[in-house]
Amino acid sequence: MKSLLALTLLAALAAPSFANEAKAPAKADLAKGQEKSTQVCGACHTADGSRGVPANPIIAGQHADYLAKQLHEFKSGKRANPVMTGMASTLTDEDIRNVTAFYASKEAKPGFSKGKDTVLLGEKIYRGGIMAKQVPACAGCHSPTGAGIPSQFPRLAGQHADYTEAQLVAFRAGTRGNAPMMLTIAARMSDKEIKAVADYMAGLR
């Protein structure tokens, strides 16, 4: 009787452990992620997500959670982009988990600022914001080094200035609406300010 009671108690204690194991998120398969990136992503983002065409984002070293969020929002239409909506629609949840982990595992290569005349303005905005316009410092969310915060705020260091500028303009126009905070911030920025801070971020490291 005591043995039966002991076994019953042991089983009860073990049950939550089994339940937790069942709920554990599936691990990403980097090899499958690389295979899918070659088939779907590489033409625009290069094989390792590094420094391709300036109009397309550098995704090497970007946070996997952030990349996954963007792909799911392209897929659902929450983030509008005809090319990316078409690409994302072909990906399963498993594909997205694998391919984002693959790109996140790559080391981001450093970039460079080009606007010598505006780099000080860009730095001022990134590190201190624009007080008169109630624009907060970019560093507050994206970190002083531009490393970002996983799942919440993307890595910006080394990103193509052309791409960053285009996204800020899209936020300001409301044509990119999947980050409400950025809509408000970009709406208060001039073309010169957007261009300056985008160029400054390209050289962050």
Helices 191-202, 119-128: axis angle to 10 degrees equals: 90
How do the domains of the chain map onto residue ranges? 30-104, 119-202
- Among residues 147, 154, 62, 146, the alpha carbon closest in space to that of 105 is found at 62
| Fold agreement between 30-104 and 119-202 | yes
- Do the beta carbons of residue 105 and residue 30 sit within 8 Å? yes
pTM of the entire predicted model: 0.86
Q: Sorting pLDDT into bands at 50, 70 and 90, what band is 24?
A: low
CATH number of this structure's domain 119-202: 1.10.760.10
Q: Which CATH class is domain 30-104?
A: mainly alpha
The pLDDT tens digits of the residues spanning 59-101 come to: 999 999 999 999 999 999 999 999 999 999 999 999 999 999 9
Q: Sorting pLDDT into bands at 50, 70 and 90, what band is 52?
A: confident
Distance CA 9, CA 160 (A): 59
* Predicted local confidence at residue 62, as pLDDT: 97
